[in-house]
Structure 1
Amino acid sequence: MLTTVTLVDGSVLDLAAWPLPEGMEDGTLNRAQLARAFSVSENTITKWISQGMPVMSDGQNGVAYEFRLRHCYAWRMERDARARAAKAQGDRLAAQAALAFRNLDEDQAEEEAELTADDLKKWSEAEYHRNRVAEQRGDLVRAGRMRELLEELMVSFGNALDTLPDFCELNFSLSAEQVAKLQERCDAARIDARARIEAALLRPGEVVAMGAQKALDL
């Protein structure tokens, strides 16, 4: 008895892995009969053919399609199994991403490690709506908007640092050596401030709270 079937895409269908249910007789069916056997419409059968379901003979010139029930059953079962596996993999990836995007600390991650993908999906949806409401109230601001604001502040901050050594030299009679040291200090402060801002804004999934930090501790 034939145990494998080569499909139109070149893949091999293992018939032994998906035997007909006990007591079900194998046979050759036309399109309408196969649709009735699977409790679907003939349009669905046509769609399955386009998706690679095995066909014994193509329908043409008034000749009906012919299908082997055993082959079509195995194809459908394997297709459904692959769909379930793909969904399970997607759920696992979604769960991992949800944990990562939530920026949980170690204690939180351990505590919530047993949450199902459905639990995390519901939590994420609720969190999204909470953030939207908070944003509309002005309690939260998007990172992109915060970046624009901080860029403007950095320009103002940088201009102040640029003029600070000259200001101190004129008003406090600093020596050239003191001015040079002050300039080095200002340059270092500018670099550190920008690095800290960029690091904060590049955290995945983060929503920056207005007023929660004083200009990111600058």
Structure 2
Amino acid sequence: MTDLADLRRLHPLPEGVEDTAMNRAQIARALDVSDNTISKWIAQGMPVLEEGGNGREYAFSPADCYAWRRHRDAGARAAKAAADRSASQLAMAFRNLDEEDANASAGLTAKQIAEEADADYRYQRAAEQRGELTRTARVRDLFEDMLVEFRRTITTLVDYCEMEFSLDPEETAKLEARCDGALVRARGTLEQAIGRGAAEPVALRRGDQGEMGL
């Protein structure tokens, strides 16, 4: 918590206002709030000169209370601004906007956002029907089919080279490791392109002509 003396230096009383002790009703009028708000602020830490009770009134320093409230309001504004930024960033993520698009859309009402989202959906559907856009799932399936064929080819390559060039076990193992690496790199490139995460290395199973198993 910032020291009260520091708060008074940061937020001095307006010029011409004297720091004269006030009771609860007077400080409420000075700060333009209700008596109940003063009670709530006291519970939240607003400084008092003298505690009230048993027929004795509270006493407040206008300078202390003014500085405390200004500091409190500044903190509330900063917290709201941070929350607004987080909300905008989260909304941008949900709506798949980049920062430039988000800035252009700032301040839109919920109805306007819904209308914009609907228009964007209709545009993308029309573009898909024209063949200008392709769904990620379809692209993924295409690449999966290509990788299946690639795996079949590269799997038989090891056996072919072993027989055709009379490779010894050490040479065969080196070629097999090389082919394993090619498969893993191909899978990794696909995963990065379609956003499914990193590839997991899977050893090449020689003679496997079926599914990739990657």
Matched, 1:69 2:56: no
CA RMSD for the aligned pairs?
5.4
Distance 2:47 2:115 in 1: 45
Distance 1:68 1:81, change over 3 A: same
Q: Which has the higher contact order (CA 8 A, sep 6+)?
A: 1
User: How far did residue 20 of structure 1 move?
Assistant: 1.8
1:162–1:186 CA contact under 8 A, matched in 2: no
AA partner of residue 3 (structure 2) = S
SS of equivalent to 2:17: coil
User: How far did residue 161 of structure 1 move?
Assistant: 2.1
User: How far did residue 69 of structure 1 move?
Assistant: 1.1
Distance 2:92 2:121 in 1: 21
SS of equivalent to 2:106: helix
User: How far did residue 40 of structure 1 move?
Assistant: 1.1
Selected match of 1:51 from 44, 48, 55: 44
User: How far did residue 54 of structure 1 move?
Assistant: 0.9
Q: 1:130 matched to which residue of 2?
A: 117
Q: Which structure has the bigger radius of gyration?
A: 2
Distance 2:33 2:181 in 1: 71
Distance 2:134 2:15 in 1: 61
1:95–1:120 CA contact under 8 A, matched in 2: no
Cα deviation, 1:77-135, whole Å, max 9, x if unaligned, reads 2333344455567778889999999796xxxx8xx6xx97xx56348x85996389639
Unmatched tracts of structure 2, length 5 or more = 198-214
Q: 2:155 matched to which residue of 1?
A: 165
1:26–1:68 CA contact under 8 A, matched in 2: yes
AA partner of residue 32 (structure 2) = S
Matched, 1:29 2:22: yes
Q: 1:213 matched to which residue of 2?
A: none
1:53–1:72 CA contact under 8 A, matched in 2: yes
User: How far did residue 71 of structure 1 move?
Assistant: 1.0
Distance 1:73 1:55 in 2: 12
Distance 1:28 1:142 in 2: 71
SS of equivalent to 1:29: coil
1:19–1:70 CA contact under 8 A, matched in 2: yes
AA partner of residue 161 (structure 1) = R
Unmatched tracts of structure 1, length 5 or more = 1-8, 204-218
Selected match of 2:9 from 6, 9, 16: 16
SS of equivalent to 1:67: coil
Matched, 1:41 2:34: yes
Distance 1:48 1:195 in 2: 58
Give the % identical residues: 39
1:55–1:67 CA contact under 8 A, matched in 2: yes
TM-score scaled by structure 1?
A: 0.50
User: How far did residue 176 of structure 1 move?
Assistant: 6.3
Selected match of 1:199 from 192, 196, 200: 192
Distance 1:132 1:158, change over 3 A: farther
